[in-house]
Amino acid sequence: MDAGFLLVSPKFDVSKAVMKFLIVGLGNTGNEYAHTRHNIGFDVVNAFVMKHGGSFRTDRLAYVADVKWKGKIFVCICPTTFMNLSGKAVKYWMDKEKITLENILVVVDDIALPLHKLRLRPGGSDAGHNGLRSLQELLGTTEYPKLRFGIGNDFPKGRQSDFVLGKWKKEEEPLVKLKIEKAVEAIESFAAQGIAAAMNQVNNKDFSL
For position 140, what pLDDT does the model report? 96
For position 16, what pLDDT does the model report? 53
C-alpha angle 206-134-119 in degrees, rounded to nearest 5: 10
d(CA 94, CA 110): 23
Mean pLDDT of the chain: 92
Give this prediction's pTM: 0.90
Beta pairing partners, 24: 77, 106
CATH of domain 20-202: 3.40.50.1470
Element (H, E) at 191: helix 173-192
Identify whether 116 is a catalytic site residue: no
| Catalytic option among 35, 38, 52, 116 | 38
CA max distance for the chain: 55
Tally DSSP H helices, then E strands, for the chain.
6, 7
Domain boundaries, the chain: 20-202
Answer for the pair 52, 66: CB distance below 8 angstroms, yes or no: no
Mean pLDDT for the stretch of residues 182-193: 98
**Confidence tier at 6 by pLDDT (50, 70, 90):** very low
Is the model more confident about 5 or about 23?
Answer: 23
Q: Kindly report, residue by residue over 86-97, the tens digit of the pLDDT.
A: 999 999 999 999
